[in-house]
């Protein structure tokens, strides 16, 4: 607030008239601006937000106490990168169902998590799930790119599409009873300057598939 927008001036051919300035009725929308009645300097009275309103039209009057003249001023509000990307849900969780039938996947979703079930023997390049984040800004300030944060303990097993947010396996995923859950942290960053970012946690559980037949401890019993 207090930022100078512009200064208006008016001329009067009479001898040394005293001119004063003010906004016309309804000429200062939402009282977002203020004007110095003697200098004509217009300044911000409240913070502007491009996401709320992109343009204001002001109507300003000048008077010498006998006559009034009016002009209009258009103020365009430029977008600043003041919004970080926001994920569509709070956390992501993928796992294999307890019973795996006919190699089909079953998909469920809730307000706070996304549950997707996959086989233990997932092949490289398999699309595990899709992350989604949006940004309330405009242009490059709203363009979101995705990456796996270096803090992800199991990032080496996956990669993510920078533009799409799709997480892929980059190797065969097999069940490990000592580490059945893989942890990822996905970063969504806009292209503003400076860039703003957010992170979301992703948990991928690899459950055992009954793909091993029983074996006797010896071939022949006597």
pLDDT, tens digit (0-9, with 9 covering 90-100), for 153-209: 778 889 999 999 999 988 877 777 777 788 899 999 999 989 999 999 999 887 766
CATH architecture, domain defined by 86-205: Sandwich (2.60)
Domain spans of the chain, in order of start: 4-76, 86-205
Task: Give the pLDDT confidence score for residue 67 in this predicted structure.
Answer: 87
Q: 197 to each of 38, 76, 155, 193, how far by Cα in Å?
A: 46, 27, 19, 12
Task: Give the pLDDT confidence score for residue 25 in this predicted structure.
Answer: 92
- On whether the CB atoms of residues 199 and 148 are closer than 8 A, the answer is no
Does the global pTM surpass 0.85?
Answer: no
Task: Give the pLDDT confidence score for residue 208 in this predicted structure.
Answer: 63
Residue spans of the chain under pLDDT 70: 15, 95-122, 208-216, 222
How many of the other CB atoms lie within 10 Å of CB of 146?
A: 22
- Same fold yes or no, 4-76 and 86-205: yes
Q: 97 to each of 38, 89, 120, how far by Cα in Å?
A: 75, 22, 10
Ramachandran region of residue 177, left (φ > 0), alpha (ψ -120 to 50) or beta? alpha
- On whether the CB atoms of residues 162 and 178 are closer than 8 A, the answer is no
Task: Give the pLDDT confidence score for residue 164 in this predicted structure.
Answer: 96
Task: Give the pLDDT confidence score for residue 80 in this predicted structure.
Answer: 86
CATH superfamily, domain 4-76, is Cadherins (2.60.40.60)
Within 13 Å of residue 200, how many CA atoms lie on the same side as its CB? 25
Task: Give the pLDDT confidence score for residue 100 in this predicted structure.
Answer: 35
Task: Give the pLDDT confidence score for residue 94 in this predicted structure.
Answer: 81
Task: Give the pLDDT confidence score for residue 154 in this predicted structure.
Answer: 78
């Amino acid at each position: 607030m207090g930022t100078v927008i512009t200064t208006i001036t008016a001329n009067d051919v009479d001898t040394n008239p005293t001119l004063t300035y003010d906004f016309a009725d309804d000429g200062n929308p939402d009282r977002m601006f203020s004007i110095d009645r003697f200098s004509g300097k217009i300044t911000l009275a409240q913070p502007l937000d491009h996401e709320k309103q992109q343009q204001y039209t002001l109507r300003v009057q000048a008077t010498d106490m006998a006559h009034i003249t009016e002009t209009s001023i258009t103020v365009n509000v430029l977008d600043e990168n003041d919004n970080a990307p926001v994920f569509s849900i709070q956390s992501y969780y993928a796992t294999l169902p307890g019973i795996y039938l006919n190699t089909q996947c079953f998909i469920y979703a809730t307000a706070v998590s996304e549950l997707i079930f996959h086989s233990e023997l997932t092949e490289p390049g398999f699309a595990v799930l899709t992350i989604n984040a949006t940004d309330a800004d405009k242009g490059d300030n709203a363009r979101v790119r995705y990456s796996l944060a270096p803090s992800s303990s199991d990032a080496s097993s996956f990669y993510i599409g920078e533009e799409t947010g799709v997480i892929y396996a980059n190797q065969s995923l097999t069940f490990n009873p000592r580490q059945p859950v893989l942890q990822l942290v996905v970063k969504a960053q806009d292209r503003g300057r400076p860039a703003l970012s957010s992170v979301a946690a992703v948990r991928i559980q690899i459950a055992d598939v009954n793909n091993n037949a029983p074996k006797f401890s010896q071939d022949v019993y006597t």
